[in-house]
Chain A
């Protein structure tokens, strides 16, 4: 991607199927939000106010997963008007928690919840942005942090490529000096296979990481599944560990399928 510094970059924040939580990485900046607004030109941010869909922008942040027929068309328009497109959060990079519907007959769910199922426009699968358009940068996390999104804005302001850390939660946890919840307390922690970026928050409270930042690079899900079994988790419980916030991330999806298959034998 081209990274030459724009003078005052035009920034858009778009929402697809999501909880709105990743946009809060901007709206929760406190007084820094006013500083950001002075440095960048926010041209589309429905939740904050400005509404200008077809303006050319330098950076488009996209929250949420593609899950309706209308989404399919809207993401193409956004891509066509954006120099750099950044997918933010689990929904946008892996399909999110609502991706749990991808492995079931979700049409039957619509019929069970709504009296007028035909009026509900919902695609069978919840899919990440990159399934539909080229994505320049992906930020993992449920939710992404203000540090992550400002990192991208600042890198592009400086004209450099944004940095990304795909290491494991474990490395950050060790740096902070927390007792290992998996080894010390026998709690089935997802830290060994989960991408860092949150700040090892769960282990800092003495609890298990549940994988909300998605798979780390070189994640050894087999070894972790074996360890979970040693801790007494049955195949269903192990599969559930991988089938959570990022169930459709390929590494986690395969780990869950393998566990369930082994459990059936």
Chain B
């Protein structure tokens, strides 16, 4: 599925919740499904700055696609990063770098998060995109060398 299709799916899933607590239940459940990352991946490099709780995002490339794992000491935060990973996991760096993220506004996540949390969300997306851009840069340098 494309980034766009998964985004639509998430918006649809969220649309069934009227109550904010139900949305949190969903995020908590989502966060719990993501297995914790290995301790050695909890590096300063993988740590996302700008979140009130600590969040680590690990990225690996395989056959031209990027794969993510993440962890956080706060479970709602982990739910949010897990949602983002669901959208971006296994996508190409080109698509990730170019992705439109309006789904975040449409599920109302940003508006209803505390400002520090919303900053955190922006920081997470920035980090995901930074991984994609770094990979593209590396590829470009590699091509130029050849």
A and B co-occur in one complex: no
